[in-house]
């Protein structure tokens, strides 16, 4: 899966959680949860859906790497390569 | 024969529209079966039955709007013709007010023509202008006794609109705007009504305690390593379980205030879920004390999305005995809640954050949470509240035995 496809998936999953927002407008280093007003419960649901959709495992200690688009996309590219 | 009544799904609910009967006359009903869908201010709610028997007769048509406490159907439980209340009904059904007098209302009043009432109760009712056909008797064989009439009088006084702005705005748009009003608007009105009542009637007292979360979070981190991502728990699941255990030790807070303190047998924790469109829903985690932390997390995984989609069951909206509000990550440090009547307490958890924390002469940086308790001073005093917070703290320091 290439960067574009990963980005598309991320936007789609964020849109499912925060339907009234436009995740594609996020700045690369903007805090995703703050910008889209996502609470702790939905943040976990987002990670669950990422794991299921991209068939990766995101351990709890890596949750910090999912906070903004730049680090999240980089992290997922690494993960999906492996 | 059992009367199946329009349930009261919260202090703020006055009526509901019967959208669909899921069972038909002749169907056998078991405890927990969904009998009907009712449209309320909190969305479309699945209504459960609390008795076993055969659905005898449906008294309210689909599409009809009826007040809380109205008889919706009769259930034949095989225990004779005598008509009784359902065991699962709310302990204090509001005095039914007929909002839209329709055919059903007429048949109802003729059915109840022969009213059993004690002479004293009749006298008090007549001198206070109480309509006997709207009363529910709690005396022998369902007869109306003095206490029933007095309760109706006190409720009439309590329900009388106090000249306050929020009361007026609540009353005015009730009928006319009904069609165009969205669910999120009606939830706003439901919250407004419940919280106005709370602030008007309940003398709150507030306590606060800072709790060290390092042991609990460490335990969670270790146990989450062994769980697949779908089964991982959030800190809030531990907080809910710790509250349930503390309530078990301090039962005066697991109660309602209805003509005195009424302790509840089950510990059903209402959990405040905020909606993205504004407003809140407070579904209950039933019997939270007997669930494991993992089971509480599973319940949340089921309950939160359904609350946000307005797809809750009647038991989840009407059976709470205590409430928790939790701010979660990235929010305020403390939250002082307003009690959801007729409950007598609400616990508020602020954001878990790293703070300087002193213990045994040593200062360290630890994850802590500021916990508040708002409690009803009619029901308990600060000593009980303080005991509750101490018990809660004790359980959070022993996460492995939660």
Three-state SS annotation for chain B: CEEEECCCCCCCCCEEEEEEECCCCCCEECCCCEEEEEEECCEEEEEECCCCEEEEEECCCCCCEEECCCEEEEEECCCCCCCEECCCCCCCCCCCCCCCCCHHHHHHHHHCCCCCECHHHHHHHHHHCCCHHHCCCCCHHHCECHHHHHHHHHHHHHHCCCCCHHHHHHHCCCCCCCCCCCHHHHHHHHHHHHHHHHHHHCCEEEEEEEEECHHHHHHHHHHHHCCCHHHCCCHHHHHHHHHHHHHHHCHHHCEEECCCEEECCCCCEEECEECCCCCEECCEECCHHHCCHHHHHHHHHHHHHHHHCCCCEHHHHHCCCEEEEECCCCCCCCCCCCCCCCECEEEEECCCEEEEEEECCEEEEEEEEEEEEEEECCCCCHHHHHHHHHHHHHHHCCHHHC
User: Rounded to an integer, what distance in angstroms lies between the CA atom of residue B315 and that of residue B55?
Assistant: 20
Which pLDDT does position B80 carry in this prediction?
76
Residue of A nearest to B328 (CA): A40
* B121 in any annotated domain: no
Q: Which chain A residues have a beta carbon less than 8 Å from that of B277?
A: 20
A4 close contact with B: CB closer than 8 A: no
Across the interface, whether the CB atoms of A41 and B229 are under 8 A apart is answered: no
Confidence at residue B256, expressed as pLDDT on a 0 to 100 scale: 97
How confident is the model at residue B87, as a pLDDT?
55
Q: How far is A4 from chain B (nearest CA, A)?
A: 25
Q: Specify whether B180 is located in the same domain as B307.
A: no
Q: Model confidence at A9, in pLDDT bands (50, 70, 90)?
A: very high
pLDDT of B114 reads 60
Residues B192 and B237 in one domain: no
| CA B6, B273, B247, B12 torsion-angle sign | negative
What is the CA B21 to chain-centroid distance, rounded? 23
Q: What domain count does chain B have?
A: 3
Contacts of A58 in chain B (CB under 8 A): 229
Given a cut of 80, is residue A49 above it in pLDDT?
yes
Do B223 and B364 share a structural domain? yes
Contact: A39, B328; criterion CB under 8 Å: yes
Q: Tell me, what's the pLDDT at B99?
A: 42
- Out of B232, B276, B330, the one facing A44 most closely (by C-beta) is B232
pLDDT at B154: 64
- Residues of A in Cβ contact (< 8 Å) with B330: 33-34
B380 contacts B219 by C-beta, under 8 angstroms: no
pLDDT confidence of residue B271? 97
Domain of A53, CATH number, reads: 1.10.1200.10
Considering the domain architecture, whether residues B224 and B168 belong to the same structural domain is answered as no
Q: Are residues B180 and B246 in the same domain?
A: no
Query: Is residue B134 in some structural domain?
Result: no
List, for chain B, all residue ranges whose pLDDT scores fall below the cut of 70: 11, 87-115, 119, 123, 126-131, 133, 140-141, 153-181
Higher pLDDT: B142 or A35? It is A35
> Environment class of residue B19 by beta-carbon count within 10 Å: exposed (0-12), middle (13-18) or buried (19+)?
middle
* Count of helices and strands (H, E) across chain A: 4, 0
pLDDT at B219: 97
For residue B128, the model assigns a pLDDT of: 65
Q: How many domains does chain A have?
A: 1
B361 shares a domain with B320? yes
pLDDT (0 to 100) of residue B127:
66
Task: Judge residue B275's burial from the number of C-beta atoms within 10 Å of its C-beta, 0-12 exposed, 13-18 middle, 19 or more buried.
Answer: middle
Question: Considering the domain boundaries, does residue B105 fall inside one?
Answer: yes
Pair B283, B304 in one domain: yes
* CATH number of the domain within which B294 lies: 3.30.559.10
> So what's the pLDDT on residue B186?
85
Q: What angle do CA B192, B195, B199 make, to 5 degrees?
A: 135
Q: Which residues pair with B212 in a beta bridge?
A: B368
Encode pLDDT of B303-350 as tens digits: 999 999 888 999 999 899 999 999 988 889 999 999 999 999 999 999
B355 interfacial to chain A (CB closer than 8 Å): no
Can you tell me which residue has the tokens 């649901």?
A45
Are B18 and B87 members of one domain? yes
Enclosing domain of residue A44 = 3-81
Do B192 and B245 fall into the same domain? no
Q: Are residues B272 and B194 in the same domain?
A: no
Whether residue B239 is contained in a domain is answered as yes
- The alpha carbon of A47 is separated from its chain's Cα centroid by a whole number of angstroms, namely 7
In a domain, B157, yes or no: no
Is B237 a member of any domain?
A: yes
Instruction: Examine the domain organization and report whether B90 and B208 are in the same domain.
Output: no
Distance in angstroms (rounded) separating the CA atoms of residues B112 and B199: 37
pLDDT tens digits for B199-238? 999 999 999 999 999 999 999 999 999 999 999 999 999 9
Q: Is residue B125 part of a domain?
A: no
Residue of B nearest to A16 (CA): B305
B166 & B267 share domain = no
CB-CB contact of B324 with B239 (8 Å): yes
CA atoms within a 13 Å half-sphere pointing along the CA-CB vector of B135: 32
Is residue B267 packed enough to be buried (19+ CB in 10 Å), middle (13-18) or exposed (0-12)? buried
What residue numbers bound the domain in which B183 lies?
Answer: 162-201
Chain A partners of B274 at a C-beta cutoff of 8 Å?
A: 39
In order of B34, B164, B186, B331, the CA distances from B191 in angstroms are: 26, 16, 9, 21
Domain edge (last residue) among B172, B201, B230: B201
Inform me whether the C-beta atom of residue A20 falls under 8 Å from chain B C-beta atoms. Answer: yes
B57 domain residue, yes or no = yes
């Amino acid at each position: 899966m290439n960067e574009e496809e990963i980005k598309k998936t991320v936007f789609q999953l964020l849109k499912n959680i925060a339907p009234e927002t436009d995740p594609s407008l996020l700045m690369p280093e903007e805090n995703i949860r703050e910008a889209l007003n996502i609470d702790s419960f939905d943040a976990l649901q987002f990670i669950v859906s990422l794991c299921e959709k991209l068939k990766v495992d995101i351990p709890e200690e890596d949750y910090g790497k999912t906070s903004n688009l730049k680090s999240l996309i980089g992290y997922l590219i690494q993960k999906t390569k492996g | 024969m059992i009367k199946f009544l329009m349930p009261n799904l919260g202090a703020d609910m006055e009526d509901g529209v019967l959208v669909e009967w899921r069972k038909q006359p002749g169907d056998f009903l078991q405890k927990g079966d969904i009998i009907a869908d009712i449209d309320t201010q909190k969305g479309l709610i699945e209504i459960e039955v609390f008795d076993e028997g055969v659905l005898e007769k449906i008294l309210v048509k689909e599409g009809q709007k009826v007040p809380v406490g109205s008889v919706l159907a009769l259930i034949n439980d095989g225990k004779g013709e005598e008509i009784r209340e359902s065991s699962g009904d709310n302990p204090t059904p509001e005095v039914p007010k007929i909002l839209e007098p329709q055919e059903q209302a007429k048949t109802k009043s003729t059915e109840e023509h022969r009213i059993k009432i004690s002479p004293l109760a009749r006298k008090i009712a007549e001198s206070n202008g109480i309509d006997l056909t709207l009363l529910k008797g709690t005396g022998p064989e369902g007869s109306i006794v003095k206490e029933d009439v007095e309760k109706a009088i006190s409720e009439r006084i309590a329900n009388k609109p106090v000249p306050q702005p929020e009361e007026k705005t609540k009353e005015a748009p009730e009928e006319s705007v009904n069609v165009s009003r969205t669910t999120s608007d009606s939830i706003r009105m439901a919250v407004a009504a419940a919280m106005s009542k709370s602030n008007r009637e309940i003398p709150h007292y507030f306590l606060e305690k800072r709790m060290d979360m390092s042991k609990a979070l460490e335990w969670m981190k270790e146990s989450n390593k062994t769980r697949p991502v779908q089964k991982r728990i959030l800190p809030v699941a531990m907080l809910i379980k710790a509250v349930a255990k503390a309530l078990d030790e301090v039962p005066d807070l697991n109660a309602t205030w209805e003509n005195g303190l009424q302790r509840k047998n089950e510990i059903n924790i209402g959990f405040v879920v905020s909606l993205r469109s504004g407003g809140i829903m407070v579904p209950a985690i039933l019997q939270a004390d007997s669930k494991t932390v993992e089971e509480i997390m599973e319940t949340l995984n089921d309950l939160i999305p359904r609350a946000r989609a307005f797809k809750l069951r009647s038991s989840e909206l009407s059976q709470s005995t205590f409430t928790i509000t939790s701010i979660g990550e990235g929010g305020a440090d403390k939250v002082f809640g307003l009690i959801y009547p007729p409950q007598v307490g609400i616990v508020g958890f602020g954001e878990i954050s790293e703070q300087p924390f002193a213990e045994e002469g040593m200062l360290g940086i630890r994850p802590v949470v500021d916990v508040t308790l708002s409690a009803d001073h009619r029901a308990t005093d600060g000593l009980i509240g303080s005991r509750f917070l101490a018990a809660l703290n004790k359980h959070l320091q022993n996460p492995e035995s939660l």
